Structures are given as C-alpha cells and as structure tokens.
C-alpha cells in the first residue's frame, strides 16, 4: 500500500491540473481579501466569512472533481493502467492509493486556503479576530471542506465507469457544486429532504447546530454517500476488463 501511495505521489507532483486546482483554491480567500480592501471596505466580518464559505462551497467541488477526473482519465487514456496493474498492484490498492493521494492534495490545498483566511481575518477584522471567532470560522470551513470531499467520491466512481471519457464526470462535478451551493438557500419546509440529499447536506450541516437531529441526518447521509460510492468504485473497477 505504501508503495502504491508513493508512486501516486510521484505522478501527482507532475499533475498540472492539481497545481492549477491548488492555485484556484488559494485564490478564493485572496480574492475575498482584495475585495474587502478595495471594493467593499464596509463589509462586516460575518458577511465576509459567509461569502468566503459560499465561494468555497461552489469552487471547491468543481476543482476537486476536475482533479480526480484528470488523474483517473489519464490512466485510461495513456493506457498506463495496464502497466500499473501488471506491476503487479492489486486493484483495491491502486484505487485506495488514488483516494489517499487525492485526499492529501485536497487537505493541503484547503489548509493553505484556511491559513490565508486566518491571515485575512487578522488584517481585515482586528477586533473580531478572537480565539472564539477563529475557532468557529475554521471549524465551519474545515467541516464544509471535509464533507465536500466525501460527497465528491461519486465523481471517482463516474471516472472509473467512464474510462477514457471525461464529460460525464465534469457534468456530475458541476451538478454536485450547484447542489452544494443550493443547500445554503434551502427553505425551512424542505430542510429534512435537503438533509437526506448528501450534496445539499454539506451546506446544511454548516448552518444547523451539532445538537440538532438535522445535523446527524446530514452526517449519516454524507458518510453513506462516500462509503457506498467507494465500494462502487472498487466493485466497478474489479469487474472491468483492461
């Protein structure tokens, strides 16, 4: 497993899409800092933070989907998957290594983004820059980013199914991002339905409190989505002729 992960890291280091993705993710808070400084200096702390969250919710799933699509589709298109499997590496290990390295990239990227958000808060809102406020802001962003990654695993399944194609996963990525953003606008009457849908549940879990049952419905829905999708990835890949 360690070998498969190390090999995947070598490939990922030269993945232009991943570098581009990191740049875009890091640009979101930088853009919001610039916006507060130059365009809208009157914007308040909570409003600014929610704007960062909104942009994150929209952009992160898109970048995430594009990165896994490029990483997986290249294996099929360049036919490297045959060389990888005859190395030999078991199909489960190959997929798990892909997932691990994809997650590591995502983790590093959103951690960088959160560092910039923290620095932005310090510069833009020195009064609101308190431990309590920062703990809230970072936990909100971190939870949102983690959940967003988990509900992005179905894109991985589509990547395996589509093989050399790329547009099905691209479309699914855009759909997933739209649903996640829509989760922030859900009315009170539809909140339970939105909690059951894993993609809208990502945003809702950030709005509702930990102590509400809605949060736990969201949590289970997101977790199941990730688990079932990854099982689907393994089953689908194992049954595939290369």
Binding-site ranges for other proteins (CB under 8 A) = 3-4, 6-7, 10-11, 14-16, 74, 78-91, 239, 241-242
CB of 15 to other proteins, least distance (A): 8
- With beta carbons less than 8 A apart as the criterion, state whether 122 and 133 touch: no
Identity of the residue, 213 or 238, whose beta carbon is nearer to other proteins in the bound complex: 238
Identity of the residue, 14 or 211, whose beta carbon is nearer to other proteins in the bound complex: 14
Identity of the residue, 80 or 130, whose beta carbon is nearer to other proteins in the bound complex: 80
Nearest alpha-carbon partner for 177 in 86, 61, 92, 65: 61
CB of 164 to other proteins, least distance (A): 12
CB of 18 to other proteins, least distance (A): 12
CB of 114 to other proteins, least distance (A): 30
Identity of the residue, 10 or 39, whose beta carbon is nearer to other proteins in the bound complex: 10
Identity of the residue, 87 or 139, whose beta carbon is nearer to other proteins in the bound complex: 87
CB of 160 to other proteins, least distance (A): 15
């Amino acid at each position: 497993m360690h070998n498969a992960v190390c090999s995947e890291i070598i490939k990922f280091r030269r993945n232009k899409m991943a570098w581009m993705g990191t740049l875009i993710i890091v640009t979101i808070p930088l853009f919001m800092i610039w916006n507060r400084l130059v365009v809208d200096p009157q914007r308040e702390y909570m409003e600014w933070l929610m704007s960062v969250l909104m942009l994150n919710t929209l952009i992160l799933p898109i970048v995430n989907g594009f990165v896994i699509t490029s990483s997986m589709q290249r294996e099929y298109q360049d036919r490297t998957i045959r060389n990888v499997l005859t190395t030999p590496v078991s199909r489960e290990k190959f997929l798990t290594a892909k997932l691990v390295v994809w997650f590591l990239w995502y983790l590093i990227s959103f951690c960088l983004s959160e560092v910039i958000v923290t620095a932005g808060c310090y510069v833009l809102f020195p009064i609101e820059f308190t431990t309590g406020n920062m703990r809230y802001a970072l936990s909100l962003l971190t939870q949102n980013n983690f959940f967003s990654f988990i509900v992005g695993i179905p894109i991985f399944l589509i990547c395996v199914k589509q093989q050399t194609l790329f547009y099905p996963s691209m479309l699914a990525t855009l759909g997933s991002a739209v649903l996640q953003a829509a989760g922030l606008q859900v009315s009170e009457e539809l909140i339970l339905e939105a909690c059951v849908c894993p993609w809208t549940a990502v945003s809702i879990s950030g709005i509702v409190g930990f102590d509400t049952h809605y949060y736990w419905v969201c949590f289970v829905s997101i977790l199941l989505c990730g688990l079932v999708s990854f099982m689907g990835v393994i089953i689908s890949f194992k049954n595939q002729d290369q």
